[in-house]
Structure 1
Protein backbone atom coordinates (compact mmCIF):
# COMPACT_ATOMS: atom_id res chain seq x y z
CA UNK A 1 0.00 0.00 0.00
CA UNK A 2 1.16 3.53 -0.73
CA UNK A 3 2.13 5.90 2.07
CA UNK A 4 -1.11 7.97 1.77
CA UNK A 5 -3.16 4.77 2.02
CA UNK A 6 -1.17 3.59 5.06
CA UNK A 7 -1.60 6.97 6.73
CA UNK A 8 -5.33 6.89 6.08
CA UNK A 9 -5.48 3.39 7.61
CA UNK A 10 -3.95 4.74 10.82
CA UNK A 11 -6.35 7.70 10.88
CA UNK A 12 -9.32 5.32 10.69
CA UNK A 13 -8.43 3.86 14.12
CA UNK A 14 -9.82 5.23 17.38
CA UNK A 15 -7.60 7.39 19.57
CA UNK A 16 -7.62 8.04 23.32
CA UNK A 17 -8.29 11.58 24.49
CA UNK A 18 -8.85 10.89 28.18
CA UNK A 19 -12.57 10.19 27.85
CA UNK A 20 -14.03 7.04 26.29
CA UNK A 21 -16.17 7.32 23.18
CA UNK A 22 -19.41 5.43 22.62
CA UNK A 23 -17.59 3.17 20.15
CA UNK A 24 -14.86 2.36 22.66
CA UNK A 25 -17.38 1.50 25.39
CA UNK A 26 -19.31 -0.84 23.10
CA UNK A 27 -16.19 -2.98 22.73
CA UNK A 28 -15.21 -5.50 25.42
CA UNK A 29 -13.58 -3.61 28.31
CA UNK A 30 -10.37 -5.66 28.15
CA UNK A 31 -9.92 -4.93 24.44
CA UNK A 32 -10.40 -1.18 24.93
CA UNK A 33 -8.05 -1.17 27.94
CA UNK A 34 -5.27 -2.84 25.94
CA UNK A 35 -5.79 -0.53 22.96
CA UNK A 36 -5.34 2.48 25.25
CA UNK A 37 -2.37 1.21 27.26
CA UNK A 38 -0.34 -0.73 24.67
CA UNK A 39 1.53 0.14 21.50
CA UNK A 40 0.19 -2.21 18.86
CA UNK A 41 0.30 -2.70 15.12
CA UNK A 42 -2.73 -2.78 12.84
CA UNK A 43 -3.09 -4.70 9.60
CA UNK A 44 -3.64 -1.95 7.00
CA UNK A 45 -5.53 -4.30 4.67
CA UNK A 46 -8.14 -4.69 7.39
CA UNK A 47 -8.67 -0.92 7.48
CA UNK A 48 -9.63 -0.50 3.84
CA UNK A 49 -13.34 -0.85 4.59
CA UNK A 50 -13.07 1.70 7.40
CA UNK A 51 -11.39 4.16 5.02
CA UNK A 52 -14.14 3.68 2.46
CA UNK A 53 -16.76 4.19 5.13
CA UNK A 54 -15.12 7.37 6.42
CA UNK A 55 -14.93 8.90 2.95
CA UNK A 56 -18.54 7.93 2.22
CA UNK A 57 -19.69 9.56 5.46
CA UNK A 58 -18.11 12.81 4.25
CA UNK A 59 -19.97 12.50 0.93
CA UNK A 60 -23.28 11.94 2.74
CA UNK A 61 -22.59 14.92 5.00
CA UNK A 62 -22.00 17.17 2.00
CA UNK A 63 -25.21 15.89 0.37
CA UNK A 64 -27.45 16.35 3.43
CA UNK A 65 -30.72 18.21 2.67
CA UNK A 66 -31.32 21.67 4.10
CA UNK A 67 -32.37 21.50 7.72
CA UNK A 68 -30.71 18.15 8.44
CA UNK A 69 -27.94 17.82 11.01
CA UNK A 70 -24.93 15.73 10.05
CA UNK A 71 -21.82 14.50 11.87
CA UNK A 72 -22.82 16.27 15.07
CA UNK A 73 -20.51 15.57 18.03
CA UNK A 74 -21.98 15.31 21.54
CA UNK A 75 -20.58 14.74 25.01
CA UNK A 76 -21.92 14.14 28.51
CA UNK A 77 -20.58 13.11 31.90
CA UNK A 78 -19.97 9.52 30.72
CA UNK A 79 -18.81 9.51 27.15
CA UNK A 80 -18.78 11.27 23.79
CA UNK A 81 -20.06 10.37 20.35
CA UNK A 82 -20.98 11.63 16.91
CA UNK A 83 -24.18 10.70 15.09
CA UNK A 84 -24.27 10.48 11.29
CA UNK A 85 -27.47 12.35 10.43
CA UNK A 86 -30.71 13.64 11.91
CA UNK A 87 -33.90 14.59 10.09
CA UNK A 88 -35.73 17.08 12.35
CA UNK A 89 -38.91 16.93 10.27
CA UNK A 90 -39.56 13.25 10.96
CA UNK A 91 -37.34 13.22 14.09
CA UNK A 92 -35.37 10.32 12.65
CA UNK A 93 -31.81 9.42 13.64
CA UNK A 94 -29.93 8.01 10.65
CA UNK A 95 -26.76 5.94 10.62
CA UNK A 96 -24.67 4.65 7.69
CA UNK A 97 -23.03 1.21 7.84
CA UNK A 98 -20.84 -0.55 5.27
CA UNK A 99 -20.97 -4.32 5.78
CA UNK A 100 -20.19 -7.55 4.03
CA UNK A 101 -23.10 -9.62 2.78
CA UNK A 102 -23.16 -11.98 5.78
CA UNK A 103 -23.48 -9.15 8.29
CA UNK A 104 -26.30 -7.46 6.37
CA UNK A 105 -28.13 -10.77 5.98
CA UNK A 106 -28.02 -11.35 9.74
CA UNK A 107 -29.18 -7.80 10.41
CA UNK A 108 -32.18 -8.50 8.15
CA UNK A 109 -33.03 -11.65 10.08
CA UNK A 110 -31.61 -14.18 7.64
CA UNK A 111 -30.41 -17.32 9.43
CA UNK A 112 -27.83 -19.79 7.99
CA UNK A 113 -28.77 -23.45 8.16
CA UNK A 114 -27.43 -26.66 6.68
CA UNK A 115 -29.45 -29.15 4.65
CA UNK A 116 -28.80 -32.15 2.43
CA UNK A 117 -29.44 -32.07 -1.28
CA UNK A 118 -28.96 -34.59 -4.09
CA UNK A 119 -26.58 -33.67 -6.89
CA UNK A 120 -28.49 -33.77 -10.18
CA UNK A 121 -25.68 -33.50 -12.74
CA UNK A 122 -21.98 -34.12 -13.29
CA UNK A 123 -19.73 -36.88 -11.99
CA UNK A 124 -21.29 -36.71 -8.53
CA UNK A 125 -24.86 -37.09 -9.81
CA UNK A 126 -27.00 -38.92 -7.28
CA UNK A 127 -24.74 -38.17 -4.30
CA UNK A 128 -26.04 -36.40 -1.22
CA UNK A 129 -24.11 -33.29 -0.16
CA UNK A 130 -24.54 -30.69 2.55
CA UNK A 131 -25.20 -27.09 1.53
CA UNK A 132 -25.78 -23.93 3.50
CA UNK A 133 -29.03 -22.05 2.96
CA UNK A 134 -30.26 -18.79 4.47
CA UNK A 135 -33.81 -18.66 5.77
CA UNK A 136 -35.72 -15.40 6.42
CA UNK A 137 -37.75 -14.24 9.41
CA UNK A 138 -35.13 -15.05 12.05
CA UNK A 139 -33.82 -12.88 14.88
CA UNK A 140 -32.21 -9.69 13.59
CA UNK A 141 -28.61 -9.47 14.84
CA UNK A 142 -28.51 -5.75 15.57
CA UNK A 143 -28.00 -5.53 19.34
CA UNK A 144 -24.57 -3.84 19.21
CA UNK A 145 -25.90 -1.31 16.68
CA UNK A 146 -29.03 -0.72 18.77
CA UNK A 147 -26.97 -0.03 21.91
CA UNK A 148 -24.75 2.46 20.07
CA UNK A 149 -27.56 4.39 18.39
CA UNK A 150 -29.83 4.41 21.43
CA UNK A 151 -27.13 6.12 23.46
CA UNK A 152 -26.81 8.70 20.69
CA UNK A 153 -30.57 9.12 21.04
CA UNK A 154 -30.16 9.55 24.81
CA UNK A 155 -27.57 12.31 24.35
CA UNK A 156 -29.56 13.94 21.54
CA UNK A 157 -32.71 14.20 23.62
CA UNK A 158 -30.66 15.72 26.45
CA UNK A 159 -29.69 18.40 23.91
CA UNK A 160 -33.32 19.00 22.92
CA UNK A 161 -33.33 16.85 19.77
CA UNK A 162 -36.26 14.41 20.08
CA UNK A 163 -35.88 11.04 18.33
CA UNK A 164 -39.03 9.13 17.36
CA UNK A 165 -37.35 6.51 15.20
CA UNK A 166 -33.91 5.14 14.32
CA UNK A 167 -32.95 3.89 10.87
CA UNK A 168 -29.70 2.39 9.59
CA UNK A 169 -28.88 2.55 5.90
CA UNK A 170 -26.68 -0.50 5.28
CA UNK A 171 -24.55 -0.67 2.15
CA UNK A 172 -23.07 -3.83 0.69
CA UNK A 173 -19.29 -3.51 0.57
CA UNK A 174 -18.99 -5.99 -2.29
CA UNK A 175 -21.10 -6.56 -5.39
CA UNK A 176 -24.35 -8.54 -5.49
CA UNK A 177 -22.48 -11.75 -6.29
CA UNK A 178 -23.55 -15.39 -6.01
CA UNK A 179 -22.66 -15.46 -2.32
CA UNK A 180 -24.86 -12.45 -1.57
CA UNK A 181 -27.76 -13.91 -3.54
CA UNK A 182 -27.53 -17.16 -1.55
CA UNK A 183 -28.07 -15.05 1.55
CA UNK A 184 -31.20 -13.51 0.08
CA UNK A 185 -29.64 -10.16 -0.82
CA UNK A 186 -30.87 -8.71 -4.11
CA UNK A 187 -29.84 -5.06 -3.80
CA UNK A 188 -26.81 -3.02 -2.79
CA UNK A 189 -28.44 -1.16 0.11
CA UNK A 190 -31.07 -1.78 2.77
CA UNK A 191 -32.78 0.36 5.41
CA UNK A 192 -32.99 -1.46 8.74
CA UNK A 193 -35.21 -0.12 11.55
CA UNK A 194 -33.79 -0.14 15.08
CA UNK A 195 -36.05 -0.48 18.10
CA UNK A 196 -35.91 2.09 20.89
CA UNK A 197 -34.36 0.96 24.18
CA UNK A 198 -35.22 2.25 27.65
CA UNK A 199 -33.13 5.37 28.28
CA UNK A 200 -32.71 4.32 31.92
CA UNK A 201 -31.25 0.95 30.88
CA UNK A 202 -28.99 2.41 28.19
CA UNK A 203 -27.63 5.00 30.64
CA UNK A 204 -26.91 2.30 33.22
CA UNK A 205 -25.16 0.14 30.61
CA UNK A 206 -22.72 2.86 29.54
CA UNK A 207 -22.27 4.10 33.10
CA UNK A 208 -21.19 0.61 34.16
CA UNK A 209 -18.87 0.07 31.16
CA UNK A 210 -17.22 3.48 31.70
CA UNK A 211 -16.72 2.82 35.43
CA UNK A 212 -15.04 -0.55 34.76
CA UNK A 213 -12.71 0.99 32.18
CA UNK A 214 -11.87 3.97 34.38
CA UNK A 215 -11.04 1.75 37.37
CA UNK A 216 -8.85 -0.52 35.23
CA UNK A 217 -6.90 2.46 33.87
CA UNK A 218 -6.49 4.03 37.31
CA UNK A 219 -5.27 0.78 38.90
CA UNK A 220 -3.27 -0.39 35.90
CA UNK A 221 -4.94 -3.81 36.16
CA UNK A 222 -6.12 -5.54 32.99
CA UNK A 223 -9.88 -6.32 33.14
CA UNK A 224 -11.09 -9.94 33.15
CA UNK A 225 -11.22 -11.86 29.84
CA UNK A 226 -14.06 -11.00 27.49
CA UNK A 227 -17.33 -12.87 27.86
CA UNK A 228 -18.07 -15.82 25.58
CA UNK A 229 -20.62 -13.78 23.65
CA UNK A 230 -18.07 -10.99 23.18
CA UNK A 231 -15.51 -13.50 21.90
CA UNK A 232 -18.09 -14.92 19.44
CA UNK A 233 -17.58 -18.33 21.00
CA UNK A 234 -20.40 -19.97 19.06
CA UNK A 235 -18.60 -22.09 16.46
CA UNK A 236 -17.02 -25.47 17.14
CA UNK A 237 -14.84 -25.21 14.04
CA UNK A 238 -13.72 -21.59 14.56
CA UNK A 239 -14.30 -20.73 18.24
CA UNK A 240 -13.61 -17.26 19.63
CA UNK A 241 -13.30 -15.82 16.15
CA UNK A 242 -13.37 -12.22 17.34
CA UNK A 243 -10.25 -12.85 19.44
CA UNK A 244 -8.32 -14.23 16.48
CA UNK A 245 -9.53 -12.09 13.60
CA UNK A 246 -10.96 -8.87 15.02
CA UNK A 247 -8.76 -7.94 17.98
CA UNK A 248 -5.63 -5.92 17.16
CA UNK A 249 -4.27 -6.29 20.71
CA UNK A 250 -4.63 -10.06 21.14
CA UNK A 251 -0.83 -10.39 21.46
CA UNK A 252 -1.15 -8.71 24.89
CA UNK A 253 -4.09 -10.85 26.04
CA UNK A 254 -3.19 -13.85 28.21
CA UNK A 255 -6.49 -15.54 27.37
CA UNK A 256 -5.72 -15.41 23.66
CA UNK A 257 -2.14 -16.56 24.18
CA UNK A 258 -3.37 -19.52 26.22
CA UNK A 259 -6.21 -20.60 23.94
CA UNK A 260 -5.37 -19.40 20.42
CA UNK A 261 -1.71 -19.72 19.48
CA UNK A 262 -2.47 -21.40 16.16
CA UNK A 263 -3.11 -19.82 12.76
CA UNK A 264 -6.23 -21.74 11.79
CA UNK A 265 -8.31 -18.55 11.69
CA UNK A 266 -6.19 -16.75 9.12
CA UNK A 267 -8.01 -17.99 6.03
CA UNK A 268 -11.46 -17.13 7.35
CA UNK A 269 -12.97 -14.11 5.53
CA UNK A 270 -14.02 -11.15 7.63
CA UNK A 271 -17.71 -10.27 7.60
Structure 2
Protein backbone atom coordinates (compact mmCIF):
# COMPACT_ATOMS: atom_id res chain seq x y z
CA UNK A 1 0.00 0.00 0.00
CA UNK A 2 1.36 3.40 -0.94
CA UNK A 3 0.91 6.54 1.15
CA UNK A 4 -0.97 9.32 -0.66
CA UNK A 5 0.48 12.82 -0.74
CA UNK A 6 -1.69 15.57 -2.19
CA UNK A 7 -0.18 18.41 -4.20
CA UNK A 8 -2.17 21.42 -5.39
CA UNK A 9 -1.13 24.43 -7.44
CA UNK A 10 -1.63 27.91 -5.97
CA UNK A 11 0.51 30.63 -7.59
CA UNK A 12 -0.14 33.39 -5.05
CA UNK A 13 -1.59 34.25 -1.64
CA UNK A 14 -4.75 36.00 -2.88
CA UNK A 15 -7.09 35.30 0.07
CA UNK A 16 -10.33 34.20 -1.57
CA UNK A 17 -8.71 31.87 -4.09
CA UNK A 18 -6.38 30.50 -1.41
CA UNK A 19 -9.33 29.78 0.88
CA UNK A 20 -11.07 27.86 -1.90
CA UNK A 21 -7.93 25.84 -2.65
CA UNK A 22 -7.41 24.90 1.01
CA UNK A 23 -11.11 24.03 1.42
CA UNK A 24 -10.76 21.64 -1.54
CA UNK A 25 -7.32 20.22 -0.69
CA UNK A 26 -7.77 19.31 2.99
CA UNK A 27 -10.94 17.19 2.65
CA UNK A 28 -9.58 15.59 -0.53
CA UNK A 29 -6.56 14.56 1.53
CA UNK A 30 -8.83 13.14 4.24
CA UNK A 31 -8.77 15.83 6.91
CA UNK A 32 -12.23 16.74 8.13
CA UNK A 33 -12.35 17.14 11.93
CA UNK A 34 -15.58 16.31 13.72
CA UNK A 35 -17.71 19.19 15.04
CA UNK A 36 -16.74 20.27 18.55
CA UNK A 37 -13.23 18.83 18.45
CA UNK A 38 -10.29 21.01 19.45
CA UNK A 39 -7.78 21.48 16.62
CA UNK A 40 -4.45 23.18 17.24
CA UNK A 41 -3.11 24.95 14.16
CA UNK A 42 0.69 24.94 14.42
CA UNK A 43 2.34 27.36 11.95
CA UNK A 44 6.08 28.00 11.72
CA UNK A 45 6.70 31.22 13.64
CA UNK A 46 10.45 30.89 13.79
CA UNK A 47 11.69 34.36 14.74
CA UNK A 48 10.82 38.08 14.56
CA UNK A 49 13.08 38.56 11.51
CA UNK A 50 12.24 38.38 7.80
CA UNK A 51 8.83 37.09 8.81
CA UNK A 52 7.42 37.69 5.30
CA UNK A 53 9.53 34.71 4.20
CA UNK A 54 10.68 32.81 7.30
CA UNK A 55 7.21 32.29 8.80
CA UNK A 56 4.14 30.52 7.43
CA UNK A 57 2.22 33.10 5.42
CA UNK A 58 -0.72 34.50 7.48
CA UNK A 59 -3.10 33.98 4.55
CA UNK A 60 -2.44 30.21 4.61
CA UNK A 61 -3.05 30.06 8.38
CA UNK A 62 -6.26 32.05 7.94
CA UNK A 63 -7.48 29.79 5.13
CA UNK A 64 -6.81 26.72 7.28
CA UNK A 65 -8.70 28.24 10.23
CA UNK A 66 -11.69 29.17 8.04
CA UNK A 67 -11.91 25.59 6.80
CA UNK A 68 -11.67 24.15 10.33
CA UNK A 69 -14.30 26.53 11.68
CA UNK A 70 -16.61 25.55 8.81
CA UNK A 71 -16.19 21.94 9.96
CA UNK A 72 -17.38 23.02 13.41
CA UNK A 73 -14.01 22.62 15.14
CA UNK A 74 -12.75 24.74 18.02
CA UNK A 75 -9.51 26.31 16.78
CA UNK A 76 -6.39 27.49 18.59
CA UNK A 77 -3.27 28.77 16.83
CA UNK A 78 -0.03 28.28 18.70
CA UNK A 79 3.75 27.88 18.51
CA UNK A 80 6.96 28.27 20.48
CA UNK A 81 9.39 30.25 18.29
CA UNK A 82 13.15 29.88 18.42
CA UNK A 83 13.31 33.58 19.33
CA UNK A 84 10.68 35.52 21.24
CA UNK A 85 7.08 34.48 21.84
CA UNK A 86 4.39 33.31 19.46
CA UNK A 87 2.39 36.48 20.06
CA UNK A 88 5.40 38.72 19.35
CA UNK A 89 6.41 36.94 16.14
CA UNK A 90 2.78 36.63 15.04
CA UNK A 91 2.27 40.37 15.53
CA UNK A 92 5.30 41.21 13.37
CA UNK A 93 4.28 38.84 10.56
CA UNK A 94 0.67 40.09 10.57
CA UNK A 95 -1.07 36.96 11.85
CA UNK A 96 -3.36 38.64 14.45
CA UNK A 97 -4.62 41.00 11.74
CA UNK A 98 -5.29 38.05 9.42
CA UNK A 99 -7.29 36.26 12.14
CA UNK A 100 -8.95 39.31 13.71
CA UNK A 101 -12.49 38.51 12.52
CA UNK A 102 -12.31 34.79 13.38
CA UNK A 103 -13.17 33.10 16.73
CA UNK A 104 -9.60 31.81 17.05
CA UNK A 105 -7.27 32.07 20.04
CA UNK A 106 -3.52 32.64 19.62
CA UNK A 107 -1.32 31.03 22.29
CA UNK A 108 2.35 30.75 23.11
CA UNK A 109 3.53 27.32 24.22
CA UNK A 110 4.71 27.64 27.80
CA UNK A 111 3.51 24.78 30.01
CA UNK A 112 5.64 21.69 29.38
CA UNK A 113 5.08 18.02 30.07
CA UNK A 114 7.97 15.52 29.98
CA UNK A 115 7.89 13.15 27.01
CA UNK A 116 10.21 10.10 27.07
CA UNK A 117 12.87 9.78 24.37
CA UNK A 118 13.74 6.49 22.69
CA UNK A 119 17.41 6.75 23.70
CA UNK A 120 16.68 7.73 27.30
CA UNK A 121 15.74 10.90 29.12
CA UNK A 122 12.84 13.22 28.39
CA UNK A 123 12.01 16.46 26.56
CA UNK A 124 9.46 19.07 27.64
CA UNK A 125 6.62 19.21 25.11
CA UNK A 126 3.94 21.90 25.38
CA UNK A 127 0.80 20.68 27.12
CA UNK A 128 -1.21 22.95 24.79
CA UNK A 129 -0.11 20.65 21.96
CA UNK A 130 -0.47 17.38 23.85
CA UNK A 131 -4.01 18.23 25.01
CA UNK A 132 -5.45 19.04 21.56
CA UNK A 133 -7.72 16.50 19.88
CA UNK A 134 -5.70 16.89 16.69
CA UNK A 135 -3.02 19.16 15.25
CA UNK A 136 -2.93 20.77 11.84
CA UNK A 137 0.74 21.56 11.26
CA UNK A 138 1.23 24.34 8.71
CA UNK A 139 4.95 24.66 7.94
CA UNK A 140 6.60 26.74 5.28
CA UNK A 141 8.83 24.86 2.85
CA UNK A 142 12.39 26.05 3.49
CA UNK A 143 15.92 24.79 3.36
CA UNK A 144 17.68 24.66 6.72
CA UNK A 145 21.38 25.23 7.35
CA UNK A 146 21.53 22.47 9.99
CA UNK A 147 18.78 20.04 8.95
CA UNK A 148 18.78 20.45 5.16
CA UNK A 149 15.02 20.89 4.94
CA UNK A 150 12.51 22.22 7.44
CA UNK A 151 9.01 21.12 6.63
CA UNK A 152 6.39 18.75 8.07
CA UNK A 153 8.57 16.67 10.42
CA UNK A 154 10.75 19.55 11.61
CA UNK A 155 7.75 21.80 12.28
CA UNK A 156 6.64 19.45 15.07
CA UNK A 157 9.85 20.32 16.96
CA UNK A 158 8.20 23.70 17.62
CA UNK A 159 5.92 21.87 20.09
CA UNK A 160 8.90 21.64 22.43
CA UNK A 161 8.35 24.50 24.83
CA UNK A 162 10.62 27.52 25.05
CA UNK A 163 14.40 27.33 25.48
CA UNK A 164 14.26 23.52 25.69
CA UNK A 165 14.72 23.52 21.91
CA UNK A 166 18.05 25.34 22.13
CA UNK A 167 19.14 23.07 24.98
CA UNK A 168 18.26 20.04 22.87
CA UNK A 169 20.57 21.36 20.16
CA UNK A 170 23.39 21.69 22.67
CA UNK A 171 22.89 18.42 24.54
CA UNK A 172 22.15 16.11 21.63
CA UNK A 173 23.53 17.93 18.59
CA UNK A 174 26.94 16.26 18.60
CA UNK A 175 25.79 12.79 19.65
CA UNK A 176 25.36 10.83 16.44
CA UNK A 177 21.76 10.64 15.28
CA UNK A 178 20.21 11.73 18.57
CA UNK A 179 18.91 15.11 17.46
CA UNK A 180 16.90 13.86 14.44
CA UNK A 181 15.77 10.89 16.54
CA UNK A 182 14.55 13.33 19.22
CA UNK A 183 12.42 15.20 16.68
CA UNK A 184 10.88 11.96 15.44
CA UNK A 185 10.15 11.01 19.08
CA UNK A 186 8.42 14.35 19.68
CA UNK A 187 6.30 13.90 16.57
CA UNK A 188 5.29 10.38 17.65
CA UNK A 189 4.13 11.67 21.07
CA UNK A 190 1.73 14.26 19.66
CA UNK A 191 -2.02 13.83 19.07
CA UNK A 192 -3.16 12.86 15.55
CA UNK A 193 -1.36 15.09 13.08
CA UNK A 194 -2.25 16.43 9.67
CA UNK A 195 0.04 18.63 7.60
CA UNK A 196 -0.59 21.50 5.18
CA UNK A 197 2.61 22.85 3.60
CA UNK A 198 2.97 26.44 2.45
CA UNK A 199 5.20 26.06 -0.58
CA UNK A 200 3.70 28.92 -2.59
CA UNK A 201 6.82 30.99 -1.95
CA UNK A 202 9.46 28.66 -0.55
CA UNK A 203 12.92 29.58 0.80
CA UNK A 204 16.14 28.27 -0.73
CA UNK A 205 19.94 28.80 -0.66
CA UNK A 206 20.00 29.22 3.13
CA UNK A 207 17.58 28.97 6.03
CA UNK A 208 15.53 28.84 8.12
CA UNK A 209 15.60 32.65 8.27
CA UNK A 210 18.22 34.11 5.95
CA UNK A 211 17.47 32.48 2.60
CA UNK A 212 16.02 33.73 -0.67
CA UNK A 213 12.46 33.37 -2.01
CA UNK A 214 11.69 30.64 -4.52
CA UNK A 215 8.34 30.85 -6.29
CA UNK A 216 7.14 27.23 -6.34
CA UNK A 217 3.35 27.75 -6.34
CA UNK A 218 2.64 24.65 -4.23
CA UNK A 219 0.32 23.64 -1.43
CA UNK A 220 0.77 20.07 -0.15
CA UNK A 221 -1.16 17.98 2.36
CA UNK A 222 -0.94 14.57 4.02
CA UNK A 223 -1.47 12.88 7.37
CA UNK A 224 2.02 11.34 7.07
CA UNK A 225 4.80 13.85 7.72
CA UNK A 226 7.64 11.55 6.65
CA UNK A 227 5.98 10.78 3.30
CA UNK A 228 5.21 14.46 2.74
CA UNK A 229 8.82 15.47 3.37
CA UNK A 230 10.11 12.64 1.18
CA UNK A 231 7.84 13.86 -1.61
CA UNK A 232 9.12 17.43 -1.23
CA UNK A 233 12.75 16.31 -1.14
CA UNK A 234 12.05 14.42 -4.36
CA UNK A 235 10.45 17.50 -5.89
CA UNK A 236 13.31 19.84 -4.94
CA UNK A 237 16.08 17.33 -5.72
CA UNK A 238 17.51 17.20 -2.20
CA UNK A 239 19.31 13.89 -1.43
CA UNK A 240 19.05 12.02 1.92
CA UNK A 241 22.66 12.85 2.82
CA UNK A 242 21.64 16.51 3.03
CA UNK A 243 18.49 15.88 5.09
CA UNK A 244 19.28 14.25 8.48
CA UNK A 245 15.60 13.71 9.35
CA UNK A 246 15.02 11.86 6.07
CA UNK A 247 18.21 9.85 6.61
CA UNK A 248 17.06 8.85 10.11
CA UNK A 249 13.58 7.93 8.87
CA UNK A 250 15.17 5.70 6.22
CA UNK A 251 17.44 4.07 8.81
CA UNK A 252 14.40 3.35 11.00
CA UNK A 253 12.42 1.96 8.05
CA UNK A 254 9.62 4.45 8.65
CA UNK A 255 6.66 4.26 6.24
CA UNK A 256 6.92 6.95 3.60
CA UNK A 257 10.68 7.32 3.81
CA UNK A 258 11.21 5.77 0.35
CA UNK A 259 9.97 7.64 -2.75
CA UNK A 260 8.45 4.42 -4.10
CA UNK A 261 6.22 4.27 -0.99
CA UNK A 262 4.30 7.38 -2.12
CA UNK A 263 1.41 7.95 -4.52
CA UNK A 264 0.09 11.25 -5.85
CA UNK A 265 -3.70 11.27 -6.34
CA UNK A 266 -3.71 14.87 -7.61
CA UNK A 267 -0.56 16.51 -8.98
CA UNK A 268 2.90 14.93 -8.81
CA UNK A 269 6.41 16.39 -8.31
CA UNK A 270 6.87 16.43 -12.09
CA UNK A 271 4.05 18.99 -12.33
CA UNK A 272 6.13 21.65 -10.53
CA UNK A 273 9.24 23.43 -11.76
CA UNK A 274 11.93 23.34 -9.07
CA UNK A 275 14.81 24.05 -11.46
CA UNK A 276 17.17 26.43 -9.69
CA UNK A 277 16.08 25.46 -6.18
CA UNK A 278 19.33 25.48 -4.22
CA UNK A 279 20.09 23.56 -1.03
CA UNK A 280 22.82 24.62 1.40
CA UNK A 281 26.25 23.65 0.05
CA UNK A 282 27.01 21.90 3.34
CA UNK A 283 25.21 21.49 6.66
CA UNK A 284 26.25 23.45 9.74
CA UNK A 285 26.76 21.63 13.07
CA UNK A 286 23.51 21.01 14.96
CA UNK A 287 25.08 22.07 18.27
CA UNK A 288 25.66 25.82 18.37
CA UNK A 289 29.05 27.22 19.23
CA UNK A 290 29.03 28.42 22.88
CA UNK A 291 29.09 32.12 21.96
CA UNK A 292 26.27 31.66 19.43
CA UNK A 293 24.24 29.77 22.02
CA UNK A 294 24.64 32.56 24.60
CA UNK A 295 23.89 35.36 22.13
CA UNK A 296 20.91 33.39 20.84
CA UNK A 297 19.43 33.18 24.33
CA UNK A 298 19.98 36.94 24.80
CA UNK A 299 18.27 37.64 21.46
CA UNK A 300 15.39 35.42 22.43
CA UNK A 301 14.96 37.25 25.73
CA UNK A 302 15.08 40.61 23.93
CA UNK A 303 12.52 39.41 21.37
CA UNK A 304 10.03 38.68 24.14
CA UNK A 305 9.81 42.38 24.91
CA UNK A 306 9.56 43.65 21.33
Higher relative contact order (CA 8 A, sep 6+): 2
Do they fold alike, i.e. is TM over 0.5? no
TM-score by length of 2: 0.24
TM-score by length of 1: 0.27
